């Protein structure tokens, strides 16, 4: 196992962390948008049902 300099290792870790954070942020945004979509759909259906009564 060859020893890597600390600054190279931290740089690699930072890049890896950024990739992971970017991925989780995208997933969180997708989940949030999906729930907002469901929420709006549910609200729309409720309004339609109330106007039918």
Q: How does pLDDT run across 1-53, given as a tens digit for each residue?
A: 567 677 776 777 777 666 767 788 888 899 999 999 998 888 888 878 777 76
pTM for this structure?
Answer: 0.45
User: CA of 46: how far to CAs of 2, 18, 41, in Å?
Assistant: 64, 41, 9
User: CA of 40: how far to CAs of 11, 37, 43, in Å?
Assistant: 43, 5, 5
What are the b/e assignments for 15-53, b being 16+ CB within 10 Å? eeeeeeeeeeeeeeeeeeeeeeeeeeeeeeeeeeeeeee
């Amino acid at each position: 196992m060859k020893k890597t300099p600390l600054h190279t290792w931290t740089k690699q870790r930072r890049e890896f962390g950024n990739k992971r954070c970017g991925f989780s942020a995208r997933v969180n945004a997708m989940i949030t948008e999906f729930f907002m979509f469901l929420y709006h759909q549910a609200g729309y259906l409720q309004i339609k049902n109330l106007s039918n009564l």
